[in-house]
Structure 1
Amino acid sequence: MAQEGADKAPYRQPLKWQDASFWDEDALHEEMERVFDICHTCRRCLSLCSAFPNLFDLVDESETMEVDSLTREDHFQVADRCYLCDMCFMAKCPYVPPHEWEVDFPHLMLRAKAIQYKKGEASRRDELLTKTDKLGQLAARPGTAPLVNWANRNRATRATMEKTLGIHRQRELPKYASRGFADWKATYQPARPEPQAGETTTGRVAVFGTCYANYQMPELGKDLVAILEANDIPVRFVDGEQCCGMPRLELGDLEGVQGAKDALVPKLAELVDEGWDILAPIPSCSLMLREEYGNVDPGDERVAKVAERVFDPFEYLMHRHKDGLLSTDFQQGLGKVAYHRPCHQHVQNIGSQTQRLLELVPDTEVAAFERCSGHDGTWGVKVEWFEKSLEIGKPLFRRIKESEADFYASDCPIAGTQIKQGMATDQKPTHPLTLMRMAYGLEAKA
């Protein structure tokens, strides 16, 4: 007999964190035992991350070799290894809703993290790593950035950081820009050509810069602007921009995510009402705006309105190409590109749009890889997970290295840094937006 609902697309239940039952620790562990028993029987997700191997080892080494032998401490040990990439839910698990078992492993792990956070178990380091806006505002300054970057590469400083904060001394940390995208935006003079609407796009773009572009890699935002200008798309920026809240989500701070949503969604909704599409150059940020806000606050109608108009940059450009509105006047081939598709882009169900667009460039070959890099936000920075993060990424590092490509690239700049460190190469990653700017023959914006 066929499973009821088997012909329906998978869907997620929103987090019910406003209900008292969500915070019932006894109910949490009862649900963890139920889901872990299903996972233990299936084991389809063994190769995805370290959470599942850890779970299966705990079971196999237990007295009964069944889930009922696991302690609550064991449950939280598994949750600590989950970095919420969502790949088990999106790509592997056959028991997600509408299956009657309704397994949502990432949201269950998020519930465990939220309960731990509410109990005050987040460390000083964990709190610090989530303050991306404040850290960027302090560090991304002409007189400060060089000193911070020097300290982040000084062996003595890093040894102290490891001892006092638990940030692994060997983890390559992103550099801060002396003049970030946040500063550059203030001097930008928009051309504002007449917009050409497509079937699914308005042809007017508001760029959500993201913390990474604003403070660490301003070239991401500037290259995106250059590409949009080359396609006669009017550009503006999101006023009063702040962190999307992804680091707070990883920590289990759902009130922090709600605060980020409450600060950003009214501004974004106003832009949508004015006819602007919204682009975010970091997959984690577009995922927050499109999906996670709706999971945290499904009752806010503005969230759904905004989610419909948020796009990944390459998804947007491919929509324009489908409508015959994308310039394909490329001036430079890119040779062979080893392209890594990050998890947080994959789970947005937009397809391989970056790969497809790069393949439009003449004299360009794309070797695409979808395996996790293992860095996963702040997880791979931590002293207890650094080596495990590199272990997870080994298959990806090996395949990219063997491709002998002219460039290697990932839509996620953190994944790009992880790949560089994992391959132990001096060659830096080149972001796909930079590759597209190069293909158009455009100079980098000052």
Structure 2
Amino acid sequence: MTSASDDRREGSLQAPKRHALDWRNPEFYEEPALMTELERVFDICHGCRRCVSLCNAFPTLFDLVDNSSTMEVDGVNKNDYWQVVDHCYLCDLCFMTKCPYVPPHEWNVDFPHLMLRAKAVKLQKGAVKTRDKILTSTDRIGKLAGIPVVVQIVNTANKSGTFRKFLDKVLGVHPDALLPVYHSKTLRKRNKRLSNRNNNSAVPAGRTKGKAVLFSTCYGNYNEPQIGEDLIAVYEHNDIPVRIVEKEQCCGMPKLELGDLETVARAKEANIPILAKLVSEGWDIVAPVPSCVLMFKQEIPLMFPDDPDVVKVKQAIYDPFEYLMLRNAEGLFKKDFVKELGTIAYHVPCHQRVQNIGPKTREILNLVPGTEIETIERCSGHDGTYAVKREFHEISMKIARPVVNRVTQTGPDHYSSDCPMAGHQIENGLKNGKKPEHPISLLRLAYGI
């Protein structure tokens, strides 16, 4: 017979468990109840402080506590809680790698989803800046900025010091933040021939069906289409037929980080039926940006746990290198490399780490002869929009500094991150003119294709 304390100890040793997000419940948006829960969780975090090095949310909280009249959470003005919320960009690392009090522990701490609730309340209060709404409208920006002629003006203006000062003053976009390049010839336009592909020559292996549909993502479509083209080339070299999702919207991650759950729901209604249909037709799904994979693997399923199509997509979507390693386990990954890669400083993005798939990118790149990997498991501080905002840019670069220092100390032939935005954050810290290279692009280079 076990005691209640034994049960609690046993529960704390179990794998972290995520509860579904009760975002349709009106109580989810009640500010007094939110403040009560924030105080409870902040008090637990104050007594622990294991997460102080992860991001700026925790140092902000601990500074508020230490500078309060009581030096406890009860001495902090509740209006200052929003400062902590604003610094959380939902990387999920505290939940997945640090916090000892996550469910099934009785204290039931899910810091990222509590911050998500707070962001949703803030949005409903009308306290979110217009700038933040614009920056998270990635589809709309991509379509507008990608118009021929317009795209040249946008890309040129984003490199102009005068325009960047204007953008800082009017919109609050920091003049030193690197902004993405836009393309009129997007990934989907370049590979339109693949949108209706229906290949029956795929070779299944393990969980994989052997043919993959590419969810191009906003960033992969409008900003760095070459990454998607490199993925297609690598997969086809490995006899994996690839097609492009014929119609897609943003996965919803930017709006999730804003707390705009209704817009996330609309994106889900646009994407899930199309993706689920492709899964039913025997296709696996891959996406070149870890945040988008995580969205379909975790966040949308937690918002819609009872939707069978959401579950179907969740079970069929893969990180690109996770997929290749599953093929490698069955002897179906080709190793006919023609070029050594030398030393690679490889940054592991937060949204890939929290997928709990292991270091699949590193494992694949290690198969290339003459290649040495220096793995960096630390947040880059970018978060899509956090690093470009006037009030957060310098803090984001401070968070990135240990990553940048590791790259500098390694002196690599290449530096790389599965998250292209994290790669450019490192570039911004290096300031040496050397560009990041996506791991899938390095793999294509090794193949010489």
Question: TM-score, structure 1 length as denominator?
Answer: 0.97
Residue in structure 2 matching 1:231, options 217, 238, 254: 238
Decide which of 11, 14, 26 is 1:5's aligned counterpart. Answer: 11
Give the equivalent residue in structure 1 for 2:50. Answer: 44
Residue 440 (structure 1) aligned to one of 432, 435, 447: 447
Matched, 1:289 2:296: yes
Cα displacement string for residues 199-244 of structure 1 (whole angstroms, at most 9, x for unaligned residues): 1100010000001111010101100000111011111111211100
User: Shift of the alpha carbon at 1:4?
Assistant: 4.2
Amino acid at match of 2:100: P
Aligned partners of 1:56, 1:288: CA distance in 2, in Å? 30
Identify the residue that residue 396 of structure 2 maps to in structure 1: 389
Deviation at 1:141, TM superposition (A): 3.4
The alpha-carbon deviation at position 98 of structure 1 amounts to 0.6
Distance 2:436 2:63 in 1: 35
For structure 1, which segment, 329-338 or 137-146, has the greater mean C-alpha deviation from structure 2 after superposition?
Answer: 137-146
Identify unmatched segments of 5+ residues in structure 2. Answer: none
CA distance in 2, matches of 1:24, 1:374: 30
CA distance in 2 between partners of 1:213 and 1:9 (Å) = 33
CA–CA distance in structure 2, aligned partners of residues 323 and 72 of structure 1:
55
AA aligned to 2:402 is P
In the TM superposition, what whole-angstrom CA distance separates every residue of 1:39-96 from its partner, at most 9, and x where no partner exists?
A: 0000000101000001000000000000011122111111011010000000000000
Shift of 1:115: 0.1
Give the aligned residue type for 1:351.
G
What one-letter code is carried by the residue in structure 2 that aligns with 1:152? N
8 A contact 1:193–1:232 mirrored in 2? no
Amino acid at match of 2:31: E
Partner of 1:326: 333
Q: Paired residue for 1:128?
A: 134
Distance in 2 between residues matched to 1:172 and 1:235, nearest whole Å = 32
**Cα distance in structure 1, aligned partners of 2:391 and 2:326:** 42
- Whether the 8 Å CA contact 2:211–2:242 is kept in 1: the answer is yes
- Give the equivalent residue in structure 1 for 2:366: 359
Q: Contact 1:4 / 1:99 at 8 angstroms: preserved in 2?
A: no
- Aligned residues with identical type, % of pairs: 53
Question: Partner of 2:96 in structure 1?
Answer: 90
- C-alpha distance in 2 between matches for 1:153 and 1:7: 51
Matched-pair contact (CA < 8 Å) for 1:146–1:178: no
1:248 counterpart (242, 252, 255) = 255
Aligned amino acid, residue 40 of structure 1: H
Secondary structure of 1:328's aligned partner: coil
- Counterparts of 2:430 and 2:221, CA distance in 1: 27
2:379 aligned residue (372, 380, 386): 372
Partner of 1:406: 413
The alignment's TM-score, normalised by the length of structure 2, stands at 0.97
Q: Are residue 156 (structure 1) and residue 166 (structure 2) matched?
A: no
Cα distance in 2 between the residues matched to 1:284 and 1:425? 27
Q: Which moved more, 1:380-389 or 1:296-305?
A: 296-305
- Matches of 2:441 and 2:215 in 1, distance apart? 17
Q: Which residue of 2 aligns with 1:178?
A: 184
Tell me what 1:218 maps to: 225
> 1:101 corresponds to which residue?
107
Deviations 1:253-289, CA, capped at 9 Å, x for gaps: 0101111111111111101111100000000100111
Whether the 8 Å CA contact 2:414–2:436 is kept in 1: the answer is: yes
Using the alignment, how far apart are the partners of 1:104 and 1:301 within structure 2?
A: 25
Question: 8 Å contact 1:140–1:216 — kept in the other structure?
Answer: no
Q: 1:270 aligns with which of 252, 261, 277?
A: 277
What CA distance in whole angstroms lies between the structure 1 residues aligned with 2:163 and 2:13? 56
Q: 1:17 aligns with which of 19, 23, 45?
A: 23
Q: Write the deviation string for residues 322-359 of structure 1: whole angstroms up to 9, x where unpaired.
A: 01111111111100000000000001111100001000
Are the structure 2 counterparts of residues 188 and 305 from structure 1 closer, same or farther at C-alpha, using a change threshold of 3 Å?
closer
Check conservation: 2:194, 2:243, Cα contact below 8 A: no
Give the superposed CA RMSD: 1.2
Which amino acid is 1:115 matched to?
V
Rounded Cα–Cα distance in structure 2 between residues aligned with 1:193 and 1:268: 18
CA distance in 2, matches of 1:263, 1:191: 22
> CA shift at 1:377, angstroms?
1.4
Say if 2:12 and 2:101, in contact at 8 Å, map to a contact too. no
**Number of matched residues?**
442
Structure 1 match to 2:351: 344
Amino acid at match of 2:253: M
Map of 1:305-324 to 2, 5 A cutoff?
305-324=312-331
Equivalent position SS for 1:337: strand
Q: Give the CA deviation at 1:178.
A: 3.3
Structure 2 CA distance, aligned partners of 1:150 and 1:13? 46
Q: State the alpha-carbon separation in 2 of the partners of residues 139 and 187 from structure 1.
A: 24
Q: Cα offset for 1:6?
A: 2.7
Runs of at least 5 residues in structure 1 that lack an aligned partner in the other structure = none
The whole-number CA distance in structure 1 between the counterparts of 2:199 and 2:276 is 21
The correspondence for 1:279, drawn from 264, 283, 286, is 286
Structure 1 residue identity aligned to 2:277: E
